[in-house]
Amino acid sequence: MIVRVRIVLGLAFALAVSGCAGQSAHDLLNRKPVAAPASDIAARHEIFVATTRQQATKDPRQVFDGDRSPTTNYALVDVTVPKIHQVGAIEREKGSADSNPAKQFTATDVVHYGDAQQFAKAVGANIAVSGDRALVFVHGFNNGFDDGVFRLTQIAHDTKYPGTPVLFSWASSGKTTGYIYDKDSSTAARDDLEATLRMLAKTHVKSIDIIAHSMGTWLTMEALRQLAITGDRDLNGKLGYVILASPDIDVDVFKKQMIRYGKPDKPFAILLSGDDRALKLSSFISGDKPRVGDYGNAADLASYGVVVVDLTNTKGGDRLNHAKFADNPVLVQLLGDRLRTPAALRADEPQGAGLENIGQGLGKAVGSVAEVVITTPFKVLTIATGGE
């Protein structure tokens, strides 16, 4: 018992230090504009936002805080990425200091939309000129509004996603002690995410791709389950890739969700890792029930029609190993290679086709033995490569 308590306390300490987001202050905007030469800016990104957070009144720099809104709010955030940016990283100023666009990700402007109709018109216009595709990102536990904005910016930038980035930001408290509050907040946002996906499907978009992380995967699966119950599980053919990264979902609950949803027609992937320390603590909090993101039986998951990619032996960007999909430079680039081909063109491929290059790319990048295990409903692919 003493050993077990020590382990749990160690995990809790790791979460307190790093968290899912790793940012103690949640200020998105600078106090005053900070100028930087255009030559120091790599790119500018427009991040469309649908959120169940309340608009921040105590600290307007946060834009939206951790309190729950009874209705969905909508906004657009302009973000610059510095030329010194490294793939997989989110360069940020520490604490509440103003960001320098030449050195850090910087939110330069925020536009609020009065209602869903105004937002739909704006996001629809952007989709029409940006490739007819939308990438919806649903963040995880312990995320401030700023964390979601900058993470989606990093994903869109590093993957070179050919479409419109849309952040669905639910009301996470942004605190390591807020696990239960966050779980309830994500559950309360199910109808809002469903409505957001339906809104996007009514534009001229051809493909709506979804990347969900951690507790955001629970919210995403619930919204997909609700779509399935209404008979519109693929959004009238517009649902593209679904990528669940480090899913913080009870395995038994996930199986029930997949039974209701049915076997996917288009690529549907689970990225898991046996060394995910954040999910170890989540499992303990949940009565030692395994989470999908560190489940040891990939074949069991794959039997529900999904592709399971085991990243246990790849490197993460922090001590928790909870966001490898986005902070491992090789993985995020390979994810981009995959995303740039629309899911509809992948639907007829054998499950898992095209994923074999993950192992090869990792071997070249780390220069040492790397192994990725890809489990599909039909076969298991084990890719091991050694450094030269």
pLDDT at res. 287: 75
**Contacting residues for 328 by C-beta, under 8 A, at least 6 apart:** 88, 311, 314, 315, 316, 317
pLDDT at res. 382: 54
pLDDT at res. 319: 87
pLDDT greater than 90 at residue 384: no
Two tokens, residue 360: 């090869």
Share of the chain above pLDDT 70, in %: 84
Going by C-alpha positions, the residue among 174, 246, 250, 162 that lies closest to residue 211 is 246
- pLDDT, one tens digit per residue, over 140-182 is 999 999 999 999 999 999 999 999 999 999 999 999 889 999 9
pLDDT at res. 378: 66
Side-by-side strand order, sheet with 133-138: 106-113, 64-82, 41-55, 164-169, 133-138, 207-213, 239-245, 268-272, 307-310, 370-375, 380-385
Banded pLDDT at 295 (limits 50, 70, 90): very high
Instruction: Identify which of 199-213, 337-351, 373-387 has the greatest average pLDDT.
Output: 199-213
Answer yes or no: pTM beyond 0.75: yes
Banded pLDDT at 380 (limits 50, 70, 90): low
- pLDDT, one tens digit per residue, over 237-274 is 999 999 999 999 999 999 999 999 999 998 899 999 98
**Contacting residues for 38 by C-beta, under 8 A, at least 6 apart:** none
- Characterize the bridge pairing of strands 307-310 and 370-375: antiparallel
> Yes or no: is domain 2-353 CATH 3.40.50.1000?
no
- Provide the angle, in degrees to the nearest 10, between the axes of the packed helices 215-229 and 179-188: 20
- Three-state SS for 107? strand
Question: How far apart are the C-alpha atoms of 374 and 355, rounded to whole Å?
Answer: 8
- Three-state SS for 161? coil
Contact present, 339 and 209 (Cβ < 8 Å): yes
Going by C-alpha positions, the residue among 199, 203, 267, 265 that lies closest to residue 228 is 265
pLDDT at res. 357: 44
CA distance readout (Å), 27 to 55, 56, 310: 13, 10, 34
Terminal CA-to-CA distance of the chain, rounded, Å? 45
pLDDT at res. 214: 97
Phi and psi torsions of 241, nearest 5°: -70, 145
Where is average pLDDT lowest: 94-103, 139-148, 216-225, 326-335?
Answer: 326-335
Q: Hey, where are the domains in the chain? A: 2-353
Going by C-alpha positions, the residue among 138, 28, 134 that lies closest to residue 77 is 28
pLDDT at res. 239: 97
Banded pLDDT at 348 (limits 50, 70, 90): low
Phi and psi torsions of 66, nearest 5°: -90, 0
**Contacting residues for 193 by C-beta, under 8 A, at least 6 apart:** 138, 168, 170, 219, 220, 222, 223
- pLDDT, one tens digit per residue, over 272-294 is 998 988 998 888 887 778 899 99
- pLDDT, one tens digit per residue, over 47-103 is 999 999 999 999 999 999 999 999 999 999 999 999 999 999 999 998 889 999 999
Contact present, 215 and 19 (Cβ < 8 Å): no
